[in-house]
Structure 1
Amino acid sequence: MIIGIGARRGVSSQEVLDAIENALDVAGRNISDVRMLSSAKLKADEEGLHEAANILGIEIRFIDHDELNKYDAPSQSQAKRFGLKGVAEPSALALSDNKKLILRKKVYGRVTIAIAE
């Protein structure tokens, strides 16, 4: 399972960890089910995302914008202002095996989470 993450600038690792925990609770899944974290290339410099991935011991990948735009995000997204259809949902779908969202994007404060398998 892949967790796609969208985040506001300067988000902390604790905000990311809390959002992931809440999303997994809603989905009825465990952190041990997570194969990878993903986000948009424009978030590659966000320390909080890198720190959260390190704390969890799960790889995070940052997906090119052209790749993200291949996936239709079923939810409205603020990412349109960056020329993206979305961040959390498309980044989760891009790396997932079945290309199926098991949790549509949910906003937790300054972090947005979607889960795909």
Structure 2
Amino acid sequence: MSTAPMLVVGLGCQRGCPASTLRALLDQALLAHGIALDQVRALASIDLKRDEPGLLQLAEQLAVPLTCFSAEQLAGYEQRLSHRSEIAFERTGCYGIAESAALALAEQLGTPPATLLVTRQKGPKSTLALAVVV
């Protein structure tokens, strides 16, 4: 039985961001932090992206669920973000999708308060954060 923590990935992306771009950002973050891909149990984003092809394809490739949260649900995590984006707020109503979604899903699957293992990483057209499920 593995003692490695279960992780969830919060993702934010621009419309049309391909799965390959999201996967490259994920692989880069995992490699940089010495995390195995099999520790990733789920993906999370904002409900505005629930039909985003790149996110859906990435979830399918990794064989993990994609859970989407409303801006109202994500707004509750604002104080815990490492970075607040005015652009994200103007477009979505919350200041950070990747970190907020990762925290929201980690708390839904585990015991609050969740913690970010990897704070916001920015890639081309995308952002990512990793939270630990406890």
Percent pairwise identity: 30
Q: How does 1:59-98 map to 2 (within 5 A)?
A: 59-72=65-78, 73-77=81-85, 78-81=87-90, 82-96=92-106, 97=110, 98=113
TM-score norm. by structure 1 comes to 0.94
Q: Which residue of 2 aligns with 1:105?
A: 120
1:46 & 1:35 partners in 2: Cα distance? 19
Give the Å deviation of 1:85: 2.2
Structure 2: gaps (5+ residues): 1-6
CA RMSD, aligned part only?
Answer: 1.1
Give the Å deviation of 1:76: 2.4
1:41-65 deviations in Å (ceiling 9; x for gaps): 1111210110111011111111111
2:51 & 2:64 partners in 1: Cα distance? 17
Q: Tell me which amino acid in the other structure corresponds to 1:74.
A: S
Please say which structure displays the higher CA radius of gyration. Answer: 2
Structure 1: gaps (5+ residues): none
- Structure 1 runs of 4+ aligned residues shifted over 4 Å read none
1:23 & 1:32 partners in 2: Cα distance? 14
TM-score norm. by structure 2 comes to 0.82
